[in-house]
Structure formats: structure tokens, C-alpha cells
Copies of this chain bind each other. A is one copy, B any other.
Amino acid sequence: MAQIISGKEVALEIQQRLREEVAQLTVTPKLAIVQVGNREDSNVYIRMKRKFASDVGVLTDHILLPRTSNESEVIATVTSLNNDTSVHGIIVQLPFECDNKISTDKITNLVSPDKDVDGLSDLNAGKLLHGQIDGKSCFLPCTPNGCIELIKKSGIEIARTRSVVIGRSKIVGSPMAQLLLWHNSTVTIIHSHTKNPAALVREADIVVAAAGSPELVRGNWLKPGAVVIDCGITALPDPNKKSGQRLVGDVAFAECKDIAKAITPVPGGVGPMTVAMLISNTVDAAKRHLKNTSG
């Protein structure tokens, strides 16, 4: 049976490291979280982010705008945070829940590049496409960067592997493929127009599933010994559960765990890493701020 890579445990290791780093700083890092509306899933994610931040000594400022807000109000909020030198990182919690039309693209790209700790702006993405993955000149997007940490935990050497990324979203698939590429893996990007994805997955040493399609990757899709990272999370109805539902990923875990060399569970795999990398980016942003303002 495969090594189960616990994102929860790796996130705790990162938490410990960050706590020590923050204690050494002459400034307290601060993350601003902008939310429009009151989606319950957003509330859950924001609670997790604030909890992790608080545990390592990072301040958070949760700016909650009503669903009656308009675009110019959101623009004013982000602009004011860009100009606030006490704020080191800014994230915009997506999706917006709003009565008015707000351009996600415009707001995401409004966040100042030196505070874009989600790493979702076009400028950040361009640096990634251009191979700047040292995390010094840009912020690596949180979920893909967390996946890289988990892949490393499996013990595999990424360079010279074959890998597949299933999905090409802005948040996960597209930046993930770039991170693997610049770690010198030979990457194939699989998407909804791909013929016979199973055959391609079967050639891969590393499989990152980020399609948002429950249990898409079956046991017989895998090359024996592959490292499998599951970014999917979908709630399926399950009358046997007290909650009435169970969470599943993009990978059929029960089938795959006997074939993979290492695999992430859902929940407790990629999810906690996304939060950890966000707070890690925030601490980095504060450090860069100190470096740029000192001397």
C-alpha cells in the first residue's frame, strides 16, 4: 500500500517553522482578506486561514463588504489596502457573492504585486511562465506550491520525471504545470478536450488531479509506483454519514492507494497545504517589506 502523504502533518511542520520565523521579525506580518457577500464555503475557508495565521503570530484583517457593494467600492477597498504600509499581504476571497457585476479579473489584478500573496495576478503568472520559481521575485500560487511540497515528501526526484496535470485552471492546473516544468519534469497538460486521458496518465510518474471531477482518476489509469496528488474536493450525498455527505477528491482513492507509491488523501491532503503556503507567502511579503524599507 502507498505512502499516504498527510498534508495536515506537513502543514503543521510549516506552521512550526513559520512561528519561529515570525518571532524573529521586527514587524508583525499582516494579511488582509477582502470578502464580498457571505457565502458559507468562503466563511469556512476564511476561518481556516485566520486560524492558521493566528497560530503563527500573523495578524489578519477581514474586510467584509455587503453583497450590495458595487465594483468601485471593492476597487476603493483594495486600493486603500495597497497603500496601507501595515498590510503585507492581500487576498480577495473568490467567488464574490454580489448583486452587482464585479470583474474578478480586474480586482485580482488590482492587488499590488508585492502584496499578491495568492499569486493569482497576471503579472505573477507571467513570471511563472518565464521560469521565475525561486519565490523571490514573485509569489508562488498557494495550492500548486503546496502540491510541490507534498510531491517532495514522497521522496521522488522531480527532475527527469514524466508528469501529468489534469486541469488548466488559473488557480491550480496552469500554475501547477509551470512549477513542474521548471522543476525539470516533462509535463503534459490534460483537459476536457484530451482524447484518452487514461493512456496519458498511465505514462506519468507524477499525477496531479485538479479537474474538479469526483473520482475521475481510476486505479487502472495509474502507472504502478506513481505519486498521486489530489487537488479535488467535492461533497457527495451519503446517507451513511451523519452529515449526509462525504468529501471525495478527483482520484478514486480506494482503488489508487494500492497502485501508487504515494498518494494524498481528501480531506487532509492538499487543502491544509494551501492555507499553509498562503501564510508562508504573507510572512515572505513582510520580510521583503522589511528588506526594502530598512537601511
- Residues of A whose CB lies within 8 Å of any CB of B are 121-131, 159-160, 162, 168, 170, 174-175, 178, 181, 184-191, 193-195, 200
Q: How far is the CA of A168 from the CA of B160 in the complex (A)?
A: 15
Q: Which residue of B lies closest to A195 (CB)?
A: B160
Q: How far is the CA of A178 from the CA of B237 in the complex (A)?
A: 37
Chain copies in the assembly?
2
- From B170, B181, B193, A189 is in contact (CB under 8 Å) with B181
- Residues of chain B contacted by A130 (CB below 8 angstroms): 122, 125, 170, 174
Q: Shortest CB–CB separation between residue A242 and chain B, in angstroms?
A: 41
Q: Shortest CB–CB separation between residue A181 and chain B, in angstroms?
A: 6
- From B124, B185, B191, A186 is in contact (CB under 8 Å) with B191
Which of A121, A181, A186, A191 is packed against the most chain B CB atoms within 10 Å? A186
- Residues of chain B contacted by A122 (CB below 8 angstroms): 123, 126-127, 130
Question: In the complex, are the beta carbons of A126 and B121 less than 8 A apart?
Answer: yes
Q: Which residue of B lies closest to A192 (CB)?
A: B184
Q: Which residue of B lies closest to A170 (CB)?
A: B130
- Residues of chain B contacted by A128 (CB below 8 angstroms): 126, 129
- Residues of chain B contacted by A131 (CB below 8 angstroms): 168, 170, 174
Given A122-B126, A125-B129, A126-B124 in contact, is the A186-B186 Cβ separation under 8 Å? no
Q: Which residue of B lies closest to A193 (CB)?
A: B184
Question: In the complex, are the beta carbons of B160 and A193 less than 8 A apart?
Answer: yes
Q: How far is the CA of A61 from the CA of B159 in the complex (A)?
A: 45
Q: How far is the CA of A167 from the CA of B195 in the complex (A)?
A: 24
Q: How far is the CA of A195 from the CA of B163 in the complex (A)?
A: 12
Q: How far is the CA of A122 from the CA of B131 in the complex (A)?
A: 10
Q: How far is the CA of A174 from the CA of B130 in the complex (A)?
A: 7
Given A186-B189, A187-B188, A188-B188 in contact, is the A129-B159 Cβ separation under 8 Å? no
- Residues of chain B contacted by A175 (CB below 8 angstroms): 129
Q: Shortest CB–CB separation between residue A108 and chain B, in angstroms?
A: 10
